[in-house]
Amino acid sequence: MPNSTPLFVFFYGSLRSGEYNNYLLANSTKIADAVIDGFTLYSLGAFPAIIPSTDPSSQVYGEVFEVDPAEFQRIDGMEKGAGYTVLEVPAIQTQDLAKTTYQCLVYIFGDSKWLQDVGEVVSSGDWVKRGE
Q: State mean pLDDT over 60-80.
A: 95
- Average pLDDT score over the chain: 92
> What is the average per-residue pLDDT within 72-80?
95
CA distances from 17 to 4, 38, 49, 113 (A): 24, 23, 17, 29
Residue 101's SS3 state is strand
Residue of 6 and 86 predicted with greater confidence:
86
Using CB atoms within 10 A of its CB, is residue 47 exposed (0-12), middle (13-18) or buried (19+)?
middle
pTM value? 0.92
